[in-house]
């Protein structure tokens, strides 16, 4: 999921490989 989001031009600034940590990075 994180890789797909990065391909869509969205960078969370975190090296999240799973959905849960990725969402947490986005919320912060």
Let me know the angle formed at the C-alpha of 12 by 9 and 15, rounded to the nearest 5 degrees. Answer: 110
For position 17, what pLDDT does the model report?
56
Give pLDDT tens digits along the chain (28 positions): 556 656 655 555 555 455 666 666 666 6
Q: Could you tell me how far CA 4 lies from the centroid of its own chain?
A: 9
Measured distance CA(4)–CA(28) in Å, rounded: 20
For position 2, what pLDDT does the model report?
57
For position 15, what pLDDT does the model report?
53
For position 14, what pLDDT does the model report?
54
Domain ranges of the chain: 1-28
For position 5, what pLDDT does the model report?
58
């Amino acid at each position: 999921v994180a890789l797909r989001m990065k391909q869509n031009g969205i960078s969370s600034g975190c090296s999240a490989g799973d959905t849960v940590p990725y969402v947490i990075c986005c919320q912060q």
